A and B are shown apart, each in its own frame.
Chain A
Amino acid sequence: MIKVENLHKSFGDTDVLKGISTVFDKGKTNLIIGQSGSGKTVFLKNLVGLFEPEQGYIYYEDRRYQNLSASERRNLRKEMGMVFQGGALFDSMNVEENVKFPLRMFTKLNNAEMKNRVQEVLERVNLKDVNTRFPAEISGGMQKRVSIARAIVNRPKFLFCDEPNSGLDPRTATVIDNLIQELTKEYDITTVINTHDMNSVFEIGEKIVYLQDGHLAWEGTKEEIHVSENKDLTDFVYSSNLFRKVKVAYQKGL
């Protein structure tokens, strides 16, 4: 579980996050949505510790991040996995070395044990026979899966995903969404996903947080979106004809 209290972040004179408070539950896929420039990425970077908030607190289970010492923060980060928008795989390493990297850095496993663990997670993300290939030699969808494998190989308690299906075809995007949701349930982790993709919202969104201009404008479940009266949210979510039809179908009980 991650609890956020009154989070503020600014860059120079620009206030990007203006007092966000919310809770991301364990074992659920929590989605952050909002227009470009609404503060989603900055919010996620605060959650993973890449940015330091000016005001407010973040609790990881019972630990308040702002109260932790530098070494406690490093230990906490070992409990996090992150899937970056572009994958952020290390170009100089092949797939196996990329996935093995967190194990090599933070565990005392021997080479055979690491290899077994890597194989296990690669199979879990449905990747076979790619161990010796480099990131540039595999497709975007495969890169995302390798990135997910790297994020979960050290069995994290918290998984963060920044637009995990951007740039992917709809079928691969759905595969990635479902994979993240399955892993969230299987490992009972707190997953926070930053997305623009309304398919993701209606496929895997168990809790949705809608940001607008640095504020938390709405939060709830995907079912609650259909009956929400927040005009900004509905304008954003139902901006395409397809999703307007989804809403009508939902309201008709179809």
Chain B
Amino acid sequence: MNYISSIGLYLIMIKDTFRRMTKRKVLWRLIFQEINDLILKSLGIVVFISFFIGAVVTIQTALNLTNPLIPKELIGYAARQSILLEFAPTFVSVIMAGKVGSYITSSIGTMRVTEQIDALEVMGINSLNYLVFPKIIAMLIYPFLIGISMFVGIMGAYLAGVYGGFLDGAQFLKGLRDDFIPFHIFYAFFKTIVFAFLLATIPAFHGYYMKGGALEVGKASTTSFVWTSVVIIITNYIITQLLLS
């Protein structure tokens, strides 16, 4: 029952976020600020993780392909498929649930605890629109971050494969191009946009409706990470079932 009422409250929050828009000039400033906080400041960790994930995927694939009848190009093919379909969109989004999600929950939660949200409401400002809407818009840039993650992941895979001595560059590039299905790119970016929306709104929900003090802000951040990850993984399954099966 508690879960159902939470889902209902979440949906009401989404509806209220798009009502009574904040002054456009102010909103633009907030959106650029959020792009900086949520996207640009995540670039470093995403590049770092993507590079090494790509490298490890290649090494694992290469070490498991012991049969001499299996062509080496398959390493490049497997790296591409893993990175494009899952590691970049889903794995990075789960990491972002920790990084961006806890930032959103703790910043909004602290505003709740210190009555800053009440201050906005007393002034007649729709606090949900002021706080959550710019985050949703900023997260529209998120697919670009995932695009970078895909590129860097494949770079990591190439370097680990070629310089690790598992295959040569031409073999990797051939595998990378083999049986390429453009729809997979659509699938990956479609689910990235859905994850971006979840990454902006679920942590905001946990911060906005939290009750208590500083300790509860910490607890809300943890809960927010758990629920954002769970919803991302379930949504990933549903989208995959609908689009690829």
Residues of chain A at the chain B interface (Cβ within 8 Å): 48-50, 73-78, 80, 82, 84-86, 88-91, 101-102, 104-106, 160
Contacts and interface: CB of A to CB of B under 8 A. Distances in A.
B119 A84 contact: yes
Given A104-B26, A105-B23, A50 B116 contact: no
B168 interface: no
Most chain-A CB neighbours within 10 Å: which of B114, B118, B121, B122? B122
B115 interface: yes
Interface of B: 20, 22-23, 25-26, 110-111, 114-116, 118-119, 121-125
B23 A84 contact: no
Given A91-B110, A105-B23, A78 B124 contact: yes
B122 A49 contact: yes
A84 B124 contact: no
Nearest to B20: A74
A91 B123 contact: no
19 contacts: A48-B122, A50-B121, A73-B124, A74-B20, A76-B124, A77-B122, A78-B123, A78-B124, A80-B122, A80-B123, A82-B119, A82-B122, A88-B115, A90-B116, A91-B111, A102-B123, A104-B23, A105-B123, A160-B122
A88 B124 contact: no
A48 to B, nearest CB: 5
Contacts of A84: 115, 118-119
Contacts of A49: 121-122
Give the interface centre of B22, B25, B114, B123 by most chain A CB atoms within 10 Å: B123
Contact of A88 (B20, B22, B26, B119): B119
Q: Give the one of A50, A77, A78, A105 with max B CB within 10 A.
A: A105
A86 B119 CA distance: 11
A74 B21 CA distance: 13
Given A91-B110, A105-B26, A85 B123 contact: no
A112 to B, nearest CB: 16
B125 A105 contact: yes
A86 B110 contact: no
A73 B116 CA distance: 20
A102 B119 CA distance: 11
Contacts of B118: 50, 84, 88
A77 B123 contact: yes
A104 B114 CA distance: 22
Contacts of B122: 48-50, 77, 80, 82, 160
Which 10 A-B pairs give the minimum distances between C-beta atoms? A77-B124, A88-B115, A88-B119, A74-B124, A84-B115, A82-B122, A48-B122, A88-B116, A78-B124, A86-B114
